[in-house]
């Protein structure tokens, strides 16, 4: 994927999954070969985000910086807004 496509993918992930709580969108953004400590596939990427949303129901990420190379998009969330009343 070209750099611009990776950058759009990173923004979409923040907008749709983190802020929009559209967990199903992760299936378009992550393949079944994605692996982390929660397991494999898109659901493994979404599981820790669900945990954050359960703990902080009004959590919203504002991305202040971004960089993208051929291999990896990087987002720097400058503020994580929440009342901590979760």
**Residue 59's domain spans which residues?**
3-81
Q: What total of structural domains would you count in the chain?
A: 1
pLDDT of residue 69: 63
The DSSP line for the chain is: --HHHHHHHHHHIIIIIIIT--GGGHHHHS-TT-EETTEESHHHHHHHHHHHHHH-TT-EEEEEEEEE-SS-EEEEEEEEE--S--
pLDDT of residue 4: 73
pLDDT tens digit string along 31-82?
999 998 999 999 999 999 999 999 999 999 887 766 666 665 555 555 445 5
Residue 17 has pLDDT above 90, yes or no: yes
**86 inside domain:** no
pLDDT tens digit string along 69-86?
666 555 555 544 555 554
**18 inside domain:** yes
pLDDT of residue 82: 52
């Amino acid at each position: 994927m070209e750099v611009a496509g990776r950058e759009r993918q990173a923004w979409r992930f923040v907008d749709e999954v983190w802020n929009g709580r559209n967990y199903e969108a992760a299936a378009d953004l992550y393949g079944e070969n994605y692996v982390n400590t929660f397991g494999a596939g898109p659901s493994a990427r979404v599981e820790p985000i669900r945990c954050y949303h359960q703990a902080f129901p009004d959590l919203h990420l504002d991305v202040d910086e971004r960089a993208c190379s051929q291999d990896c998009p990087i987002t720097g969330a400058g503020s994580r807004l929440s009342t901590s009343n979760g």
